[in-house]
Structure 1
Amino acid sequence: MQDFRVAQTIERRRVLATRGGVQSEVGEWRGQTVFVKTLLTAEPEATLRFAHEGGIAAGLSHPLVVPLLARTPRQLIFPFVPGGTLREVIEASPLPAGAALCVATGVLRAVEHLHACGVTHHDLKPENVLLHGGRARGDAVRLIDFGMSHSRALGTDIHDGTRMGTPHFMAPEQFRGVRGDPRSDLYSVGVLLFDCLAGSPPYEDALGWLVGIHEDCAPLPGPPEVHPVLRAALQRDPEARPATAGEMRAALEKTWNTLRPAAAWD
């Protein structure tokens, strides 16, 4: 990752969105297609959030995590990943069991790296999982977006005590303001796997579930062999979930080995 003081020239730019004072675009930089986030505002909180995201992304290096190529105080430059998001694939059709397990296993491999680096993602959802080439396979997973993440390596956590996250994918303790617990990410991967299999998350009224008003979970999707892993990951109590991303990944791989004669990855 290269750290520059001055803005880098992005050619053939195409703006994708502008939100919260940050513009997202695709363009070319140094001969390659890139995805660029540009800070458009001088508002102090937005500036802190932008630096926070860049600082976390700069410390990660894994084949299944989109790397930060370069940054300036107002730019974050990433390689462009062709193929779209996992959400786009799910919206077309829920995934077969084998493909869903494969994608979830890929996400967990990326999450294992994050957790080894002291980072909790805190916003794992299909919108933040790119699939290289549009392939629903573990090796095609590319994890993105560390704007809500917690890192033990940073001196301060600008989101400390907040309820930031996406309600349908947010663990109950995260909703209460607890940050930095890796098991919160495992809950989110459980919801992501559920979404892959069912085409929607488990709780229609996610806020009602998070505050404890109800326990109305949709029927567990996919073959029965997958249900124990889903049930464990979706526990309200973090202590009842898998202890680590590696443990959850091993359980999914064991499930796949059981299903292999009857399922396909694609």
Structure 2
Amino acid sequence: MQKPADPHLTDAWGLERSRVLAVRGGIQSEVGEWGGDTVFVKTLLTDEPEAALRFDHEGQIAAQLDHPLIVPLIACGPNRLIFPFVAGPTLRDRVEGGPLSPAEALSVTWGVLNALAHLHDRGITHHDLKPENVLLAGGQVCGERVRLIDFGMSHSRTLPHDIHSGTRMGTPHFMAPEQFRGVRGDPRSDLYSVGVLLFDCLAGHPPHEDALGWLVGLSQDRAPLPGPPELHPLLHAALSRDPQDRPQTAVQMQTLLRDAAHSLGLDLPDLGNPCP
């Protein structure tokens, strides 16, 4: 689906056969037909100024992204963000059916890191990376089918205002400790979340049952590292409390992931080719 020549819509933009999926935090999510295509639409329902600022911020960040593993913004306004509809479950849906195989988990994580490298190259951090925000297009569990979504908590160095400054951004089981303290994270915060994501894929659950206790430093308990021992050094590094002890860039973490995959005799997907 191509972006229209004028991506700004009028009130009479004409969504047809729409179906509301959810209403949360003053934002309605729905699916419908527009211009002959199925689209996913987020609509701001509240006139609360801070909510409007955050919604506009999400649209500005989404408009900067152009990557095959990130669901693109195709049109906007007023108070609407329009994306192509991606048919397929979330990674959360898939993991709830049971842990992934090491090959599947590494392939999906490889795709997520590929998308994150694009974000980070543009000065953007996601800040809410979790299985619910990773779609598997067509239901296929492989890196080429990963689609990263939801930039409502993201930060961009290129935008003039840091609207999330001083707030706790993210989901406790998947957020980095520094995010919980209200410190604006950097790419290493996203990479912590990737480590939790990989752990979750392999084990079927995140590493810390008492996520809040871990985040505030009251609990050191962590479930045993899942998967083959060849993956444990990567998981241990990514899940470090101190950002300095984690992989420092998405590309560096990809290198560690590739080395671990090769030690297991596994091939990672060529993201330039169709998924088999």
User: What TM-score does the superposition give when structure 2 sets the normalisation length?
Assistant: 0.93
Q: Which residue of 1 aligns with 2:10?
A: 6
Displacement over 4 Å in runs of 4+: 261-266
Output the CA distance in 2 between the equivalents of 1:262 and 1:20.
Answer: 42
Q: 2:208 aligns with which of 203, 206, 224?
A: 203
Q: Which residue of 2 aligns with 1:191?
A: 196
Query: Which shifted more, 199-208 or 44-53?
Result: 44-53
Q: Is the 8 A contact 2:106 2:268 kept in 1?
A: no
Q: Which residue of 1 aligns with 2:39?
A: 34
Output the CA distance in 2 between the equivalents of 1:190 and 1:263.
Answer: 17
Output the CA distance in 2 between the equivalents of 1:263 and 1:173.
Answer: 31
Output the CA distance in 1 between the equivalents of 2:266 and 2:89.
Answer: 30
Query: Which shifted more, 3-12 or 225-234?
Result: 3-12
Q: Is the 8 A contact 2:110 2:268 kept in 1?
A: no
Q: Which runs of 5+ in 1 are unaligned?
A: none
State yes or no: 1:43 paired with 2:56.
Answer: no
Q: Is the 8 A contact 2:195 2:238 kept in 1?
A: yes
User: What TM-score does the superposition give when structure 1 sets the normalisation length?
Assistant: 0.97
User: What is the deviation of 1:101?
Assistant: 0.4
User: What is the deviation of 1:165?
Assistant: 1.0
Q: Which amino acid aligns with 1:24?
A: S
SS state at 2:32 partner: strand
User: What is the deviation of 1:180?
Assistant: 4.0
Q: Is the 8 A contact 1:68 1:76 kept in 2?
A: yes
User: What is the deviation of 1:250?
Assistant: 1.2
The alignment-based identity, stated in percent, is 67
State yes or no: 1:58 paired with 2:63.
Answer: yes
Q: Which residue of 2 aligns with 1:166?
A: 171
Q: Which residue of 2 aligns with 1:83?
A: 88
Cα distance per residue 1:204-225 (max 9 Å; x no partner)? 0000000000110100000000
Output the CA distance in 2 between the equivalents of 1:207 and 1:217.
Answer: 12
- The root-mean-square deviation of aligned C-alpha atoms, in Å, is 1.7
Cα distance per residue 1:68-106 (max 9 Å; x no partner)? 000013100000001110000000111000100000010
Q: When the two structures are aligned, how many residues end up with a matched partner?
A: 266
Pick closer, same or farther for the CA change 1:246–1:182 going to 2, 3 Å: same
Q: 2:20 aligns with which of 15, 23, 46?
A: 15
